Amino acid sequence: MKYSGKIEEKVFKILMVIATYSILAVLAIIIYSIFAKGIKALSWEILSQVPQGGYYYGKGGGILNAILGSLSLAFGATLLAFIVGLPVALYINVFLVRRKKLITLFRFILDLVWGIPSIVYGAFGFSMMILLGLQTSLLAGMLTVTLFILPIMIRSMDEILQTVPIGLSEATYSLGANKSELAFKIFTRQTVSGIITAILLSFGRAIGDAASVLFTAGYTDNLPNSLMEPVATLPLSIFFQLSSPVPAVQDRAYASALVLTLIILLVSLFSRGLGKRYHKTKINF
């Protein structure tokens, strides 16, 4: 008996080790290839200029159009999603506290729409644009991405708001606070770093998604200059330029991939740092 148990343990241990390291290896290869090709392509010229002579064939220039386009689109979408999402998350956790079934339903729906592929949001945004007579533009892309990250924003804030101890609500109510005061003055303060983490997580999703902006934001060689004009984005900069037969253009795609990866890395490092700080203050009683 004892002997067979040992074999079982060994087999499973080996399986786990293989699975873990093979995954790590694949990830390492991906990151290596992004960095190897990206760093070679990266230069001040690429970062500071727009493509010369068209993004698909032109050999000179860079990806500034996509960098600024992606940043403004993701920033706008995150801001909009935050403005809409925070009240929703607070409403669920403070006002609906006695409506258990309704809360469960809301969370279920949000989890469901979280799982919808972003291309579906893109298609929805596109059909809305046709209905409203809108062109592909920064605004259309921003609104579509807002819809796409809204469930992520709401649910991650909702998760963090659920960690507020009920005793704190009791204490606040006993001081004569009403529900909005509890929500906006206590819940938001108690969870501020968690809320920022939710914002950063949503920003990361917003900036990295290609499918939702494909039909809605369009693509352009120009820098973003108006809400009503199309904008370039980093994911599409990869998508369009990598398929070009011109090696110089492909380099722009690799540079875009590297820049995008670095932006997301930065965002996630930052939110991790916040998470740690949050933990510290929690324990420090």
Partner 1 sequence: MEPTTKIHIENLNVYAGKQQILKNINIEIPKNKITVILGPSGCGKTTLLKCMNRLTDLYPELKVTGKVMINDKNVLEAGEDIVKLRQYMGLLSQRPYPLPMTIYNNIAFGLKLKGVKKRRNLHKQVVRYLQQANLWDEVKNRLREPASRLSIGQQQRLCLARGLAVNPEIILADEPTSALDPISSQYIEEKFVELKNDYTIVLVTHVLRQARRIADFVVFMYLGEVIEQGTVEEVFGNPKMEKTKQYLGGTFN
Of 98, 108, 132, 247, which lies in the binding site for partner 1, with binding defined by CB under 8 A?
A: 98
169 near partner 1 (CB under 8 A): yes
The pair of structure tokens assigned to 1 is 């008996």
Q: Candidates 33-41, 147-155, 161-169, 238-246: pick the segment binding partner 1 (CB under 8 A).
A: 161-169
CA 106-92-147 angle, to 5 degrees, is 60
277 near partner 1 (CB under 8 A): no
Give the x-and-dash track for 189-228 against partner 1 (CB under 8 A). Answer: xx-x------------------------------------
Exposure string over 99-128, b if 16+ CB within 10 A, otherwise e = eeeebeebbeebeebeeeebeebbbbbbee
CA distances from 184 to 91, 195, 279 (A): 10, 12, 21
Q: Which is nearer to partner 1, 127 or 162 (CB)?
A: 162
The pair of structure tokens assigned to 147 is 């819809």
Q: State CA 7 to chain mean position distance.
A: 44
170 near partner 1 (CB under 8 A): yes
What is the total count of residues that contact partner 1 (CB under 8 A)? 27
SS3 for 226-262, per residue? CCCCCCCCHHHHHHHHHCCCCHHHHHHHHHHHHHHHH
- Closest C-alpha to 94, from 22, 190, 227, 209: 190
Of 5, 115, 133, 165, which lies in the binding site for partner 1, with binding defined by CB under 8 A?
A: 165
Query: At its nearest, how many Å lie between partner 1 and the CB of residue 276?
Result: 16
The alpha helices in the chain, defined as continuous H runs, are: 2-41, 44-48, 64-90, 100-114, 118-132, 138-161, 166-174, 179-181, 188-190, 192-208, 211-214, 234-242, 247-283
Of 40, 185, 277, 279, which lies in the binding site for partner 1, with binding defined by CB under 8 A?
A: 185
245 near partner 1 (CB under 8 A): no
43 near partner 1 (CB under 8 A): no
Query: At its nearest, how many Å lie between partner 1 and the CB of residue 89?
Result: 17
Of 23, 27, 29, 168, which lies in the binding site for partner 1, with binding defined by CB under 8 A?
A: 168
65 near partner 1 (CB under 8 A): no
Q: Candidates 59-67, 179-187, 207-215, 225-233: pick the segment binding partner 1 (CB under 8 A).
A: 179-187
Which amino acid appears at position 5 of this protein? G
184 near partner 1 (CB under 8 A): no
Q: Candidates 5-13, 44-52, 98-106, 201-209: pick the segment binding partner 1 (CB under 8 A).
A: 98-106
162 near partner 1 (CB under 8 A): no
Please give the residue ranges that form the binding site for partner 1 (CB under 8 A).
Answer: 97-100, 165-178, 181, 185-186, 189-190, 192, 281, 284-285
